[in-house]
């Protein structure tokens, strides 16, 4: 009986884990910010459409100006926040390519709320680029 209970527990944990992963990435993501450059359109997305203090799962999507997914190659995202009387607060994200072309996923943690200056850089087959924009962290 003990073995069966363990089996059921493991099975339930597996199902729950699978459901959570599906919820995290299968759910419709909401756009936090879109940013256009000469060569690319970037869309920063989260499940809530916002960034918040603490850990955030983020998706960054690149499309060409004509709307096709754009392989941006190596992508980095860093943020900076001006803090009165001290050095700017710098927080970055590690982004890795998702299965879908032009889609990058990662996490970023913010120690507090407030507006961040975001810098995204990329280096891929379509060329190098960078852009800056600001977003609120709630
Ligand atoms: Cu700060």
Share of the chain above pLDDT 70, in %: 80
pLDDT value, residue 138: 97
The rounded distance, in Å, linking the Cα atoms of 29 and 60 is: 11
Give me the torsion for CA of 52, 43, 25, 97, rounded to 10°.
Answer: -110
Asked if residue 5 is part of any domain, the answer here is: no
Residue 18 Cα to ligand 1 middle (Å): 35
Asked if residue 123 is part of any domain, the answer here is: yes
Residue 84 Cα to ligand 1 middle (Å): 9
pLDDT value, residue 74: 96
pLDDT in tens, 64-101: 999 999 999 999 999 999 989 999 999 999 899 999 99
Asked if residue 10 is part of any domain, the answer here is: no
Residue 7 Cα to ligand 1 middle (Å): 47
Asked if residue 124 is part of any domain, the answer here is: yes
pLDDT in tens, 36-74: 999 999 999 999 999 999 999 999 999 999 999 999 999
Distance from first CA to last CA of the chain, Å, rounded?
49
């Amino acid at each position: 009986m003990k073995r069966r209970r363990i089996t059921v527990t493991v099975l339930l944990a597996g199902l729950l884990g699978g459901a959570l992963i599906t919820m995290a990435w299968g759910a419709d993501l909401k756009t936090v910010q879109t940013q256009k450059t000469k060569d690319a359109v970037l869309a920063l997305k989260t499940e809530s459409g916002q960034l918040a203090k603490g850990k955030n799962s983020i998706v960054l999507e690149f499309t060409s100006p004509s709307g096709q997914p754009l392989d941006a190659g190596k992508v980095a995202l860093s943020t900076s926040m001006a803090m009165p009387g001290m050095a700017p607060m710098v927080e970055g994200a590690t982004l890795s390519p998702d299965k879908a072309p032009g889609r990058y996923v990662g996490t970023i943690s913010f120690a507090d709320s407030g507006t961040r200056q975001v810098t995204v850089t990329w280096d891929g087959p379509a060329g190098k680029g960078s852009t800056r924009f600001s977003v609120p962290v709630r």
